[in-house]
Structures are given as structure tokens and as C-alpha cells.
Structure 1
Amino acid sequence: MLLKNKGQIGPRFLVYLIGLLVMSLGIVLLIKADLGATPWDVLHVGLYYELGLTIGSWSIIVGIFILAAAALISKEFPQAGAFLNMILIGLFIDAYLLLPFMQTPNGLAGKLAVFGFGIVVYCYGMGLYISAQLGAGPRDSLMIALSAKTGWKVRNVRGLMEIAVLTVGWQLGGPVFWGTIVLSLAVGPIVGAALPQCQALTDRFLAKLREKDIYANQMLKEKDRGAS
């Protein structure tokens, strides 16, 4: 069962930040594997090919439009976590792409290894950032808003979103290959397994910090009593 974490903003933001770093690394690994990216990254790469800028910049720009659409549909201002998600992932993607060793492997075996590792890293990064419970990203915000507006199931809304985005990205020349189909089928089950594991890890981390704070407060009170 998902426990609702409250307070401890600093430690939760640390988990959130680590999750976004890990997820962004997964995105870049999938792009560099050159076997097919996620539908949204197909769009970002396609826009990069057609209009320049950087892949991370397009991730942020597309995120702005998505948040605006979600806000118009839901008539609610997006949470701060959605803006952070949008900006930080874009910055992290560009930072990873600047690393000199972040190259596409020459052989198929190397590409498959990078692709498989990228899927796991991407899914567990997503699980970590969600476990911090600091707000959904732009795409998840739009998915939730559309689901609430139409009454359709979340998985159906997300599926239609992914198909529409993939179609546009493909037309722009984004990296669509058999790996894109594998990602579409594999990400859901892997995230489904990763999320409870990441949530349990985050909950344990936060619980230990609470115990330390309680112990420190008790020691401080005892010290104050001794001094009086």
C-alpha cells in the first residue's frame, strides 16, 4: 500500500532529484542505443533534427505546452513538482549528452546491452522520483487531466497520447525502430515492479531520518534537564 509522505521536504527532494537524474540517464542511454526511443523522445529528437536547439531544450519546450494544455483542461495551476520535473529532466538530458563517453556502440550486441540497461535505469528512475511524492511530471499531469475530463481509463488515455506523439515524432524523423515497440510493452510492467520497491526504499530512508531526529531531540532534552 502506498503511504502518503508528509513533511521532510529536504530528504524527499533529494530522492526526487536522484530519481530524475537516474531517469534522465535512462532516456539518454535509450537514445544512444539507437534501437528506438520512447514515443516522447522520438518527438524530442525529431524536433531537434528539424529545428535545431538541443534534445533537452525540446523536452522543456514540449513540457511547457503540455502543462499549459493540462492547466486549461483541468482548470488548475500545475504543481511546482511538474515544473521542476520539466526543467531538470531537460537540463540533465543535455548534460549527459555532453559526456564524451556517451556514444552509440558499434556492434548490435553493444547496442542491445545499452538498450536493456537503459530500460531498467529509466523505469527505476521513474519509480524513485514518483516515490518522493512531490508531484507528477507534465505528461502525467496531462494524462490525469484528460482522463478526468473524458472519463476514459488512464491506460487508454496514455495509449492514445503515446500513439499521437509517436506519429508526429516519426514524421519528423525521430528514432523509431523495433525498440520503440519493446519499450511500449515493457515499460509498464517494469515500472509496476519498480515503483513499490522504490517506494519501500524511500519510506525506509525517511523513517530512519525521523528516528534520528527523534533520538537527537531526546538527547537534547536530557542534556537540558541535566544542565538545569
Structure 2
Amino acid sequence: MKRKQHLQKRFVLFSVGLLIMALGITLTIVADLGAAPWDVLHVGLYYQFGLTIGTWSIIVGFIVLGSAGIMMKEWPKFGAYLNMILVGIFIDMYMLLPFMTEPQSWQGKAVMFLVGMVVYAYGMGIYLSAEFGAGPRDSFMLALTAKTKWKVSNARRLMEIGVLAIGWLLGGPVFIGTIVFSIVAGTFIGIALPQCRTLTHKWLRDSVENEKVKEIERGASV
């Protein structure tokens, strides 16, 4: 029972983290200052073939996960599939909100983009701290690193340059924000992840201890 409750709380954190991260992704796209490399690809595919940005995020995620599975000769973890599907759904959900519109001024766009990066970083920090499974891009990066023996940074850089080039050829939004995101996002995540892990582990530990206290109290009252 304790393990089930613990798993449920981790799943809640995982889902909330993805919900927050998807909001950050949507804000950076709507700001129209250039999107993150993977989102340049998703938006480019949307421009060329229709559907929705979230749908393309899911489709590309399936392709990436399948490639990682073939490389590693094993099925990716369930959390990776769940991550991919929920993020795509959440992005489309946010895009439908009537107030999610592009700011008219450069200052407004810059603020929206910056807020989007911060929200994205903390959303990622929360979902990763739940330890429920990494997303498809991270799974592919790990598979590529394992097969080529490259450094993680080199594998990540090669992936992002590749998808950015394809997205740009498809007409995706490459602009100053793309460069800023590529340079700064890692720093933001590096700040957010330890904070989220500390708070998450404390919350989960406190929850377990509270359950133990309740059990002792119930036993004492019998």
C-alpha cells in the first residue's frame, strides 16, 4: 500500500512537471522570437503538412523512441511514451487558450520568451525529479551515446543541430530566441533541477514519514 501511494505521488509530480514544461514550450513558440531546436522542427512540420504542433511532437517522439529502441535493442520505458503523449496533448491544449497570443511589442515578446524558458526549466526539473522516465529525446541521446561512445554534450549538440537544420528547411521559426534558448536553457535547467529534486525528495520523504506516524497512531488506538 505504501509503495502504491508513493508511486501515485511520483506520477502526480511527473504529470504536473510535464504540464508546466509544456506551458514553457508554448510560451516560447507563441512569443515568435524563434523556438527551441526540436520545436523548430515541430512547427516546420505543422507549416508544411498541417495537423497540430502537439501532434507532430508526438509523431516525432514515436520515431525518436523507435530509433532509440532499435539502437539499444530494447523497449524504451513506459514513462518515455507517457512523456511524449502528454507533452503533445498539453501543448495543443495551451495553444487553444484564447489569451495565448503573440505580444505586439518586442519587450512583450522578450518577456514572454524569458518566462517561457524559466517555466520550461522548472517543469523539466519537476518531471525529472519524479524519476518516472525520461522523454524520447533524452532516451535517444543516451542510446546514441552508448553506441558511439561520444560525450553526452557532443551527442546532444549533434542531435539539436540536425533537427534545427531540418526544421529550418521546413520553414520553422529560427531567430534570435533559438540561439538564446540553445545557450541559456541548459543553465536554467542546471539551476532548477537540483532545487526541484530537493523539494520533491523532501515532500516524498515527509509523506512516507506521515504515513508511518498515522499507522502508529492507528495501532495505538486499537
User: What is the TM-score when the length of structure 1 is the normalising length?
Assistant: 0.95
Shift in Å at residue 161 of structure 1? 0.1
Aligned to 1:9: 7
Structure-2 residue corresponding to 1:121: 119
Q: C-alpha distance in 1, partners of 2:211/2:59?
A: 41
CA distance in 1, matches of 2:60, 2:6: 31
Alignment of 1:141 with 2:136, yes or no, is no
Unmatched runs of 5 consecutive residues or more in structure 1: none
Cα distance between partner residues in 2 of 1:199 and 1:112? 29
Q: What is the correspondence of 1:151-162 to structure 2 with a 5 Å cutoff?
A: 151-162=149-160
AA aligned to 1:60 is I
- Which aligned pairs between 1:94-109 and structure 2 lie closer than 5 A? 94-109=92-107
What is the Cα-based RMSD across aligned positions, in Å? 1.2
Q: Which runs of 5+ in 2 are unaligned?
A: none
User: What is the Cα deviation at residue 7 of structure 1?
Assistant: 7.6
Between the aligned partners of 1:154 and 1:212, the Cα distance in structure 2 is: 39
- Residue 6 of structure 1 and its aligned partner are, at CA, apart by 10
Percent identity of paired positions between Structure 1 and Structure 2? 56
Structure 2 counterpart SS, 1:93:
helix
> What amino acid sits opposite 1:151 in the alignment?
K
Q: Aligned partners of 1:71, 1:59: CA distance in 2, in Å?
A: 18
TM-superposed CA distance for 1:34, in Å, is 0.4
Compare 41-50 and 208-217 and name the one that shifted more.
Answer: 208-217
Match of 1:34 in 2: 32
Cα deviation digits, residues 116-152 of structure 1 (max 9, x gap): 1001000110111000001110000000000000000
Q: Map Cα deviations across residues 91-132 of structure 1 (whole Å, 9 max, x no partner).
A: 000000000000000010100110110010001101110000
Residue 174 of structure 1 is matched in structure 2 by 172
Question: TM-score w.r.t. structure 2 length?
Answer: 0.97
Supply the distance in 2 between the matched residues of 1:164 and 1:7 (Cα, whole angstroms): 42
Report what 1:88 is aligned to: 86
Q: Which runs of at least 4 in structure 1 moved beyond 4 Å after TM superposition? A: none
Aligned length: 220
Query: Could you say which residue in structure 2 is the equivalent of 1:191?
Result: 189
Note the C-alpha offset of 1:46.
Answer: 0.3
Question: Counterpart of 1:69?
Answer: 67
CA distance in 2, matches of 1:26, 1:189: 15
Q: AA paired with 1:28?
A: T
Query: How far apart are the structure 2 equivalents of 1:44 and 1:109?
Result: 26
Distance 1:179 1:86 in 2: 24
Q: CA deviation at 1:8?
A: 1.1
Match of 1:202 in 2: 200
Equivalence for 2:221:
223
Match of 2:76 among 78, 81, 87: 78
